[in-house]
Homo-oligomer: A and B are copies of this chain.
Amino acid sequence: MNSLYLIPSTLGDTPPHQVLPDGTLDVLPKLSVFVVEELRSARRFLSAAGLKGKIDGLEFHTLNEHTTPEEIEALGALFDRGSVGLITEAGLPAVADPGAALVALCHRKGIPVVPLVGPSSLMLALMASGLNGQSFAFRGYLPAKSNERKSAIKKVEKDSSLFSQTQIFIETPYRNDALLADFLAGLSPATLLCIAADLTLPTQTILTQTVSEWRRKTNFTIGKRPCVFLILAQSN
């Protein structure tokens, strides 16, 4: 039966077999239609994952934050012709990206959905943080405006403390160090903050410290590396 395969991609330029198991890589040669978040990086990924030389024979459609509900609905017709692979930027499709709309369409139409194993920057960061892995929330991006962001940080720290819940965030890379500065300015000294950058890459950095310890690391910068931020407030 024609299905939607959810294909994780690498987090950066890792060789695919390092982070993708056989059960994922073996699906790729069987597919000829892909829905992708970013055409160029999806083609580069498939090429590295064993389809080099075959890319021009494949069919690509785009699904990103600009895709309208009508355009997503139209993608449903692809399944009349065969199975479809969904690939998004850096990691698991339909997590922290707009891909879930296509998955939801498949459930409405009774099209089977097959999730495949691969790297999740959020889970790698959570595992490695040492923070609470039995209760956690991913909240995506904090507000960009300074005053809204300050009150959001306070609110998130309060929720974390009330429910002993690890709070997970991502940021546009060029704003990483600004977000770190906002966390250090706005969080309580005893709150734990984990910074997990360049996951699965040779330059991987994972560090969990209290806010008061972070404040003493005055030379530390993240730079424009892909980064996950995690906080866990101490319960009152």
Chain A interface (Cβ within 8 Å of chain B)?
A: 6, 14, 17-23, 92-101, 103-107, 112-115, 117-120, 122-140, 165, 199-200, 204, 206-209
Which of B96, B115, B133 contacts A199, CB < 8 Å? B115
Which residues on B sit within 8 Å (CB–CB) of A92? 123, 127
Minimum Cβ distance to chain B for residue A225 (Å):
16
- Known contacts: A115-B128, A117-B124, A200-B117. The answer to whether A133 contacts B21 by CB under 8 A is no
Q: In the complex the two chains form, is B130's CB within 8 Å of A140's CB?
A: no
**Contacts beyond the supplied A100-B132, A115-B206: 16 A-B pairs with Cβ under 8 Å:** A18-B23, A23-B200, A92-B123, A95-B126, A95-B133, A98-B134, A101-B130, A103-B127, A103-B130, A113-B130, A114-B128, A114-B204, A115-B125, A117-B119, A117-B124, A135-B139
Which residues on B sit within 8 Å (CB–CB) of A122? 123
Minimum Cβ distance to chain B for residue A72 (Å):
11
- Known contacts: A114-B128, A127-B6, A128-B103. The answer to whether A133 contacts B97 by CB under 8 A is yes
- Which residue of chain B lies nearest to A208 when distances are taken between CB atoms in the complex? B107
Q: In the complex the two chains form, is A136's CB within 8 Å of B134's CB?
A: no
Q: List 27 A-B contacts (CB under 8 A).
A: A18-B22, A19-B23, A19-B117, A20-B21, A23-B200, A92-B127, A94-B128, A94-B130, A95-B126, A97-B133, A98-B134, A99-B133, A103-B127, A103-B129, A104-B130, A107-B207, A112-B206, A113-B128, A113-B206, A115-B124, A115-B206, A117-B119, A120-B120, A134-B138, A135-B138, A136-B138, A137-B138
